[in-house]
Structure 1
């Protein structure tokens, strides 16, 4: 394998344990409607390797705010990984080019499920703004994921 010199990269890691079975967390990770409740509404998402889908966020400069994704790995109730690309080469700071990978890993624990989110590939200093903002953002997103999973796990639904 070609071991070319890579620029300095950084990863965001969020590790948490939820009081829900892996199947409940998996459903929240792989249902487009549920993803829209804890992250952003995806367009074209399916938990199938090779599926291309998008998220839409706030545009900046020459970037239209579209995040282009491709499902890279699907292991039911264990692992979901997708490419996360966005930005524009004309932007500096927010909206700078971003070529990263988001991976959710699930493992059963005595009290529920350990979720480990790794968003890798931030090239520093170019992606410093995205890295800082998304480091805080993913913590909130994971808390939202827990809330959505709890709603799915609850036998009573609010009407």
Structure 2
């Protein structure tokens, strides 16, 4: 492993939600719900699908790399020089679902992007929690 690969960093956010996996899966995969907690997109839960997230500050180019309904979702996340992968993992718990988001690919010279992601994903999780709570089961 080379020195740069060893320095690649990852942002991980994990949270327990009092909702079934199916409900969280919908919020992660349906464009109108994604827009409510993350950004506008033309997302489809289909492996190989190219899509964009769009916000006032610009856009993120993405491609779906893995889809295992109600369990795992992964896509590339490329924006402003950052080439990363976002992986969502959903695990059932006694009280609902454990949701884990991992974004990996931050190089040592991308401290601002890394810190922004650490802060940003916490905010997105809070908004996701509100969106999921409002959605009908």
Please indicate, yes or no, whether the TM-score normalized by the shorter chain is above 0.5: yes
Q: Answer yes or no: is the 8 Å Cα contact 1:20–1:153 preserved in 2.
A: no
Residue number among 51, 54, 69 corresponding to 1:53 in the alignment: 51
Give the number of the structure whose residues are more often helix, by fraction: 2
Q: Report deviation, 1:66.
A: 2.2
Partner of residue 94, structure 1: none
Q: Report deviation, 1:151.
A: 0.9
After superposition, give the CA deviation of every residue in 1:53-82 in whole Å (9 maximum; x if it has no partner): 0112354xxxxx221000000000001100
What is the number of equivalent residue pairs in this alignment?
A: 135
Residue number among 62, 68, 79 corresponding to 1:75 in the alignment: 68
After superposition, give the CA deviation of every residue in 1:86-143 in whole Å (9 maximum; x if it has no partner): 11xxxxxxxxx1000001100000000000000111011x211011011011001011
Residue number among 93, 116, 121 corresponding to 1:138 in the alignment: 121
Q: Answer yes or no: is the 8 Å Cα contact 2:40–2:55 preserved in 1.
A: no
Mapped to 2, the partners of 1:131 and 1:24 lie a distance apart of 29
Give the number of the structure whose residues are more often strand, by fraction: 2
- Unpaired stretches in structure 2, ≥5 consecutive residues: none
Q: Report deviation, 1:6.
A: 5.4
Mapped to 1, the partners of 2:70 and 2:3 lie a distance apart of 32
Mapped to 2, the partners of 1:40 and 1:69 lie a distance apart of 13
Q: Secondary structure at the match of 2:43?
A: coil
- Unpaired stretches in structure 1, ≥5 consecutive residues: 60-64, 88-96, 155-159
Mapped to 2, the partners of 1:18 and 1:149 lie a distance apart of 9
Bigger Cα Rg: 1
Distance 1:37 1:6, change over 3 A: farther
Mapped to 2, the partners of 1:6 and 1:153 lie a distance apart of 48
